[in-house]
Chains A and B, each alone.
Chain A
Amino acid sequence: MRKVWPSTLAGQLALLVALALFIAQGIHAFLLVEEREERRLEAISAPSVARIVDVADRLRADSALVHRRDGFIGRARVTPDSSVPEHIRRFRRAERRIFEELRENAQDIDDIRVAPARREDARPWMPGFLRDRPARDPHVLLVSAHMTGGPWINLVAPVPPVSEGILARILIQTGILYAVILLALLWLVRRSSASLARLIRAADAFGHGRDEGAITESGPEDIRHLIRAFNGMRERISAMLTEKDRMIGAIGHDLRTPLASLRLRAENVEEEGERNAMIASIADLEDTLSDILMLARLRQSGEEVRAVDLLALVDAVVEDFRELGADVELLTDGRVTAHIRSNLTRRALRNVIDNAIKYGTRARVRVEHDGSDARIEVEDDGPGIPEEALERVFADFERLENSRNRGTGGSGLGLTLAREILRAQGGTIELENRDEGGLRVLIRLPLGGAKPG
């Protein structure tokens, strides 16, 4: 069923119309055949009825006629037995019809038998002048009528031609109908489904954070309406997002100025320990602020997708940590070209490796790739994360208090930010506890990058 029933609107419409056409043509063909049959019956019954009535009249007028030597009265042969045995395949419809017509003119006819026969078998029932007349049709009809209390009147009637080619004509007609209607339908469906397809693409892209602008209205009115509704919605959402970005920008600015002021004044604190603690707190606040701003405006990031050597990128991030004295190791070597947002991807990776160093003391990074995806693994030697919390660490501001105390700093947005950056490029990030202890972060990133559409 699944295979037969098409999934798209165009396919369903086409199939439905084809089915409906098929049924309609079937009924049409049935009616047509019926009408032909009716005319054929008419062609059989009318002359037979006339002849039977005539013979019956003559018999009623002169019953001695029965005893003529050969039994022929005109074209009919009058015999005590019917030319049609009772139990053969008979032409019942013709019988009924003739019987009904006879009833008006010859009430004493009480039985009618009609059956097809081969011409040579029918010869005894034909008058002499017909017997040897050449005929194309080897078939004839035997018509036999019984007079109440009297003999059978037997006739031989020609089989009216079956109208040949009626089926072929119906088939041709159906074909033409199919062609015309399906073509028109196809045109209509294509017209609407092209608009629908554009709408689907745009809605999909918008859902993934790529705004491709308003769609031009086209297609049938209801689809235009749908597009109009979508455009309106897109506009309102865009306006809201723009407003959000503007607001966050303003908040960021308003927070940065007092932070800068605090940072400057901190330098005046005489006691060195106190001063350094203050500076560290301010730096923390600054990091959190920048994470929030970045997360909130990821959508707005103007960074373009470019061809980047992904391994060199991972290597650069790892090297940055090593330059700061962190214990990080890159275990893969080589070159992999990926189409990604380089700076954002760097940021995502930095957050992941930073976590590994903070909570797992040292990090090992591995990169694998097949034709379409890169797989980046970051392993640490830390305590890992309770299974039930593996997904929770991606939530905004989530920090697992038992394993990660405030002293380690950070906004709790690091992994959220990493995941959002990767997702925007069609990638994924997962955490798992290693059997040997420690945490493993699995990043999967399509090498093709996020392409519009």
Chain B
Amino acid sequence: MSEGRPHILVVDDESSIREPLVRYLSDHGFRVRAASNASDARKQLAAYAIDLVVLDIMMPGEDGLSLCRHIRETTDTPVILLTARAEDTDRIVGLEIGADDYVTKPFNPRELVARIRVVLRRVGAGGTRVRAPETESYAFADWVLKAGERELVDRDGVAVPLSTGEYKLLLALVSHPRQVLSRDQLLDLTQGREAHAFDRAIDNQISRLRRKIEADPKSPLLIKTVWGGGYSFSADVTRL
């Protein structure tokens, strides 16, 4: 927090990851500490004001999941998990251990930085801690949006797959129901990091979404256009 530079703790037993990661994060405006195992990490967490932990799941001795649970029980420090195996993501989702996000090795370091910023912004804004977003489902009207699956499910249980863009846009809308979201905000929410899409694309995707979820896309009841503003999602959303 001091000097306004966020303080990151990188926990990974692999020095080949830990060292370049520490360097990369330092180069991108973070103060960085490193720990090569869970007990070292616990000591540093106790000794320093850490703003965010980047944590490898697979470690000898106490593993990352266990340490993550410990952090969640004792502090509010956000955690981003590093996983090396695709099936670990299932475990993360299943365990709901309270990580704020995760990336799969080998990860794009720029993406990791973007995610760190998103999580810090969310926590810094006094936002309530949300679980890893992939674990949730949102129910509205006749639909359920399954976040992990990138699919809508209709009343009869038939899944309607969404494109990445449609999914992110709908996720942004249903997680801010009955709020006016400008195209700018929607871009922020959907692009996260590299924003090379433009307003037109948002309108385009809105109309695609309307074709999929509205009974009559010409007079939409769920995704409403707000004059001069943007869009608002005007249905009750239940988190499942």
Contacts and interface: CB of A to CB of B under 8 A. Distances in A.
Interface of A: 249, 252-253, 256-265, 267-268, 282, 286, 290, 293, 306-309, 312-313, 315-320, 323, 337, 342-343, 346
Nearest to A258: B16
Nearest to A264: B20
Given A290-B86, A346-B161, 12 more contacts: A253-B84, A256-B106, A257-B105, A259-B105, A261-B14, A262-B106, A267-B24, A307-B156, A307-B159, A309-B160, A323-B201, A342-B149
B84 A257 contact: yes
6 contacts: A264-B21, A264-B24, A267-B27, A308-B160, A312-B161, A312-B212
Given A263-B109, A268-B23, A309 B16 contact: no
B164 A264 contact: no
A437 B84 CA distance: 43
Interface string B1-35: 00000000000001011001101100100000000
Tell me if B's interface is mostly helix, strand, loop or mixed: mixed
B71 interface: no
Contacts of B163: 315-320, 323
Interface of B: 14, 16-17, 20-21, 23-24, 27, 58, 82, 84-87, 105-109, 149-151, 156-166, 197, 201, 208, 212
B106 A308 contact: no
A253 B58 CA distance: 10
B148 to A, nearest CB: 10
B86 A293 contact: yes
Contacts of B109: 263-264, 267
Determine which residue in B27, B85, B157, B160 has the highest number of CB atoms from chain A within 10 A of its CB, and name it: B160
A263 B161 contact: no
Given A257-B16, A263-B106, A264-B21, A249 B161 contact: no
B164 to A, nearest CB: 5
A312 B160 contact: yes
B165 A319 contact: yes
B159 A342 contact: yes
A263 B85 contact: no
A306 B146 CA distance: 14
Contacts of B16: 257-258, 261
B99 to A, nearest CB: 18
Given A256-B106, A312-B212, A307 B158 contact: yes
B106 A260 contact: yes
A298 B166 CA distance: 28
Contacts of A263: 106-109
Nearest to B21: A264
Given A308-B158, A312-B160, A261 B20 contact: yes
A257 B14 contact: yes
B17 to A, nearest CB: 5
B165 A309 contact: no
A261 B13 CA distance: 12
A262 B108 CA distance: 11
A313 B161 contact: yes
Determine which residue in A264, A312, A323 has the highest number of CB atoms from chain B within 10 A of its CB, and name it: A264
Nearest to B86: A293
Nearest to B58: A253
A314 B159 CA distance: 13
Contacts of A306: 157, 159
Given A260-B17, A309-B160, A249 B106 contact: no
Determine which residue in A267, A317, A337 has the highest number of CB atoms from chain B within 10 A of its CB, and name it: A267
Contacts of B21: 264
A282 B85 contact: no
A282 B157 CA distance: 40
A258 B24 CA distance: 16
